[in-house]
Amino acid sequence: MAGGDGTEVFSEEELKLPPCKYEYLDHTADVQLHAWGDSLKEAFEQCGIAMYGYMTELETVEIKQSAIIEAEGHDLESLLYKFLDELLFLFSCEPYLICSKVTITEFKTDGEELRIKCKCYGEEFTLGKHPQGTEVKAITYSAMQIINEPEKGKCEVFVIIDI
Amino acid sequence: MVVRKFEEELKYMEKLNPYCWKIKKGFQPNMNVEGVFYVNSTLEKLMLDELKNACRPGMTGGFLPGVKQIANVAALPGIVGKSIGLPDVHSGYGFAIGNMAAFDMNDPNSVVSPGGVGFDINCGVRLLRTNLFENDVAPVKEQLAQSLFDHIPVGVGSKGIIPMNARDLEEALEMGMDWSLREGYVWAEDKEHCEEYGRMLNADPNKVSFRAKKRGLPQLGTLGAGNHYAEIQVVDEIYDKWAACKMGIEEKGQVCVMIHSGSRGFGHQVATDALVQMEKAMSRDKIETNDRQLACARINSQEGQDYLKSMAAAANFAWVNRSSMTFLTRQAFAKQFQTTPDDLDMHVIYDVSHNIAKVEEHVVDGKLKTLLVHRKGSTRAFPPNHPLIPVDYQLTGQPVLIGGTMGTCSYVLTGTEQGMIETYGSTCHGAGRALSRAKSRRNLDYTDVLAKLEEMGISIRVASPKLVMEEAPESYKNVTDVVNTCHSAGISKKCIKLRPIAVIKG
C-alpha cells in the first residue's frame, strides 16, 4: 500500500520482527547457516534472514519498503536454493534491498513444481547507515540438509553460503 | 558421504613422500582415478584434522572435508590422471579449494563442472611494480592507503565508479581487456602480461542471463569483500635474482601493488544459473555425482558449451574489473607523487586466474592430449619455453602470484617442468583457510588484530570490522608453509617474497 508521499505504509503486524531462530556454524572457507522453526516455512524464512544478517547488522535496518519474490524448484533443496538466490538478487542490484523480515505467503511443497511466494520487508542498503558485513557470493548445495519433521517439532535447514 | 572411523579412513591414504599423499580408490564411491594432495608436516595435520572432525557418524549438519571432496572429484566422468589437491587445499563446496582436475576433451563422456571453477569465476591476482622504494613511500604511507581506499570502491554494497551502461557491459564481456584498452583504462603492454592476454575469445554475452548482467553492471570496478584486497607491498626477499630482474624487480625494498579480486556478482550469478541448468542436464544424460554441488554437464552438450561461453564472458568481466582497479591505483599513486604512472614505471608484472577452466594441451601417459583443465583455488604455472606464456618470461617460466593474508606475506613463484608433468602445470593460489570464519569471529578481537597489524607497521583500511577477524592471519594456514611445500615438491619455484605495508579490504 502506498502512503501520501509515495512511501509504503505497513500494518503493525507487518512491522513486527520475528524471533531469531538461526545461527552461524563453523565451516573452513565459508559460512553454514542453520535455521529452524515450528514449520518448514518458518525455517525457510529464518534462513533468509540469517543470510541478510551476515551482510549487515539487522538492527540498523528499518522497514520502509517491500518486494515480492517468487521461486520454483523440483524438490525441496532446489526450492530453498532458488529462494535464497532470489533474496540475494534483491540485495545485489536494483532495488538493493536489505531485509529484516521475510514472510512466505505461498508455500507449495508437494507435486511436480514446488513454489514459494514471499514478501520481503526492509530498505535500500545505504553505506553509512548500514554497517558493511560480509558479501555473500552465492548459495551452495554443498552439505545442504533439510529436516522436515513437524510432528516431532523438528524443522531445520542447513545451507552453506559462499563468502 | 561414506562415514567410517578415522582409523578406517586412514587406510585409504598413503604418504608417498614427505610432501605428497595418495588417496586410493574406494575412499569415496565410484572413483575413476586416484587422488593426490601435496602437504608438509604442518599442513598435513590441518588436512587430517578436518577429516577427523567429519568422522562422526549420524550427526546432522556438518560439511565435507577437503580430502573427501578431492575424492568426489576423482569420481567425475572423463577425469584423467589424478584429482589433485595443492598445498593450500581445504574444504570448499563441490571441489575442494586448492583442487585441480583435467578432463579429456576427446572422451564424449567428459564433463565440465561449474563447481570446479567456483562462483567467483576468474578470481585472480595482479601484481604491479613501481620504481619507488620503501623509504619513498614510508612518509606518506597513511595518505596513500587512504587515497587507495577512496579511489577503489570496496565492501558489501559498494558500487563502481567507472561509467558503464548496458551496451558498454556487452562489449566488455565480449572483449575483456581489449575493451579496457580501447576505453583508455590500461596500457597495451598490460595485456601481454595477462593469462589469455586478458580476453577469452569464446566469450558469448548472449549466453549470459539478464540476471547476471543486472547484478554485474553496478559492480564493475569494485574490489568486493571477503578475502579480496589491494595491498601496497615491498620486496622482502629475492630468491631468484635473474627471474626477478626479468619482472623488473631489481632489489629489496622496491614497492609493488597487489590486487586480488574477481568477476563480482556477475560471475557469481553465471555460476548459479549454470548450476540450475546442469541439474536438468544431469537427469537427462543420467550423470551421477557424489555431491549435488558437483553438478556438471558433458562438455559437448548444449549446457556444457553454454556454460563455457558464459564462463568466458565472466572471465572477461574479471579482467576488466582488475584493469579498472589498476587504473584507479595508478591514479592514486600519480596524484600522491605528483607525477605520471608512466614515470613511476607502474607496469603489470603479471595477472593470474585461480578460479577457471581452460582447454590446454598436456602429455598424459606419454601421449599428447587436449584437456579441459579445471583450477579452483589453483594457479596455472607453466614452465619455461611454453608457447602460451609471454615472450618476456619465456626463459624464466610463467610468474605465479600467491597472495598471502592480511599482515603476512605474498610470493611470486615461477612455473617448472616438473609441475607441468605432475600437476598439469598447476600450483597453489594462496594461504588457504585454517580456522572457520565463525570460529575466528568468536576467538579473535578486532582491536587486537588491528593493534598487531599496526605493530608490524601495516596501515589498514577496511570497510567491515568483522571481516578483520575473519581475515586475520591466525585464520589462515601459513602461506610460507604452503609456498615452501610447492617449492620442495618441485611443482613451482620461489622467486620473490613480498611484505605488505598497507592493506585495503572490504
Q: What is the pLDDT along chain B (506 residues), one digit of tens a residue?
A: 567 899 999 999 999 999 999 999 999 999 999 999 999 999 999 999 989 988 776 566 678 899 999 999 999 999 999 999 999 999 999 999 999 999 999 999 999 999 999 999 999 999 999 999 999 999 999 999 999 999 999 999 999 999 999 999 999 999 999 999 999 999 999 999 999 999 999 999 999 999 999 999 999 999 999 889 999 999 999 999 999 999 999 999 999 999 999 999 999 999 999 999 999 899 999 999 999 999 999 999 999 999 999 999 999 999 999 999 999 999 999 999 999 999 999 999 999 999 999 999 999 999 999 999 999 999 999 999 999 999 999 999 999 999 998 889 999 999 999 999 999 999 999 988 888 887 888 888 888 888 899 999 999 999 888 888 888 888 888 999 999 999 999 999 999 999 999 999 98
Q: With respect to CATH, is domain B123-505 assigned 3.90.1860.10?
A: yes
> Would residue A10 count as lying in a domain?
no
- Other residues' Cβ atoms within 10 Å of the Cβ of residue B214: 18
**Residue A3 predicted with pLDDT over 70:** no
List the CATH number of the domain containing A155: 3.55.10.10
Residue B208's φ and ψ, nearest 5 degrees, are -100, 135
> Would residue A1 count as lying in a domain?
no
Within B350-432, residue ranges assigned H as helices are 417-422
Q: How many A/B residue pairs have CB atoms within 8 Å?
A: 148
Residues of B in contact with A55 (CB under 8 A): 156-157
Residues of B in contact with A138 (CB under 8 A): 119, 268-269, 271-272
What whole-number distance in Å separates Cα of residue B90 and Cα of residue B260? 19
Identify the H or E element spanning B223.
none
Range of the domain at A91: 22-162
Identify the H or E element spanning B370.
strand B367-376
- Chain centroid to Cα B271, Å, comes to 16
Question: The pTM is what?
Answer: 0.95
Given an 8 Å threshold on Cβ–Cβ distance, is A93 in contact with B155? Answer: no
What whole-number distance in Å separates Cα of residue B499 and Cα of residue B487? 19
Residues of B in contact with A85 (CB under 8 A): 272
Left, alpha or beta for A50 (phi > 0: left; psi -120 to 50: alpha)? alpha
- Other residues' Cβ atoms within 10 Å of the Cβ of residue B29: 13
pLDDT score recorded for residue B70:
98
What whole-number distance in Å separates Cα of residue B76 and Cα of residue B434? 27
Query: Would you state the torsion angle of the CA atoms of residues B196, B201, B202, B207, taken in this order, to the nearest 10 degrees?
Result: 110
Identify the H or E element spanning B426.
strand B426-427
Q: If we measure between CA atoms, which residue out of A71, A90, A93 comes closest to residue A82?
A: A71
> Would residue A13 count as lying in a domain?
no
Q: Among all residues of chain A, which has the CA nearest to that of B63? A: A143
Lookup: cell for B428? 597453489
pLDDT score recorded for residue A26:
81
pLDDT score recorded for residue A6:
62
Given an 8 Å threshold on Cβ–Cβ distance, is B156 in contact with A135? Answer: yes
B459 part of contact set with chain A, CB < 8 Å: no
Q: How long a stretch of residues is chain A? A: 163
Give A18 to chain B, closest Cα distance, Å.
23
Given an 8 Å threshold on Cβ–Cβ distance, is A158 in contact with B60? Answer: yes
Given an 8 Å threshold on Cβ–Cβ distance, is B271 in contact with A138? Answer: yes
B408 labelled binding-site residue: no
What are the residue boundaries of the structural domains of chain B, listed by start? 6-104, 123-505
Given an 8 Å threshold on Cβ–Cβ distance, is A28 in contact with B291? Answer: no
Residues of B in contact with A28 (CB under 8 A): 50, 63, 66, 90-92, 433-436
Instruction: Report the number of distinct structural domains present in chain A.
Output: 1
Given an 8 Å threshold on Cβ–Cβ distance, is B438 in contact with A144? Answer: no
Lookup: cell for B265? 556478482
Given an 8 Å threshold on Cβ–Cβ distance, is A29 in contact with B91? Answer: yes
Query: Would you state the torsion angle of the CA atoms of residues B465, B470, B476, B479, taken in this order, to the nearest 10 degrees?
Result: -30
> Would residue A17 count as lying in a domain?
no
What is the C-alpha end-to-end distance of chain A, expressed in Å? 35
**Facing residue for B157 by CB, picked from A94, A96, A156:** A96
Looking at per-residue pLDDT, the higher value among B54 and A61 belongs to: A61
Which B residues 144-173 touch A at CB under 8 Å? Answer: 155-158
The string of DSSP codes covering A106-157 is EEE-SSSSEEEEEEEEEEE--TTTSPP-----EE--TT-EEEEEGGGTEEEE
> Would residue A5 count as lying in a domain?
no
Residues of A in contact with B295 (CB under 8 A): 141
The string of DSSP codes covering B150-216 is HHS--STT----S---HHHHHHHHHHTHHHHHHTTSS-HHHHHTBGGGG--TT--GGGS-HHHHHHH
Identify the H or E element spanning A70.
strand A65-73
> Would residue A33 count as lying in a domain?
yes
Bridge partners of B412? B401, B496
Name every residue whose Cβ is closer than 8 Å to that of residue B336 and which is 6 or more positions away in sequence.
Answer: B140, B143, B144, B147
User: How much helix, strand and coil, in percent to the nearest 5, is found in chain B?
Assistant: 40, 25, 35
B71 labelled binding-site residue: no
Lookup: cell for A157? 535447514
What are the residue numbers of the active site of B?
A: 429
Q: Among all residues of chain B, which has the CA nearest to that of A84? A: B272
**Facing residue for B60 by CB, picked from A30, A127, A147:** A147
CB B129 within 8 A of CB B350: no
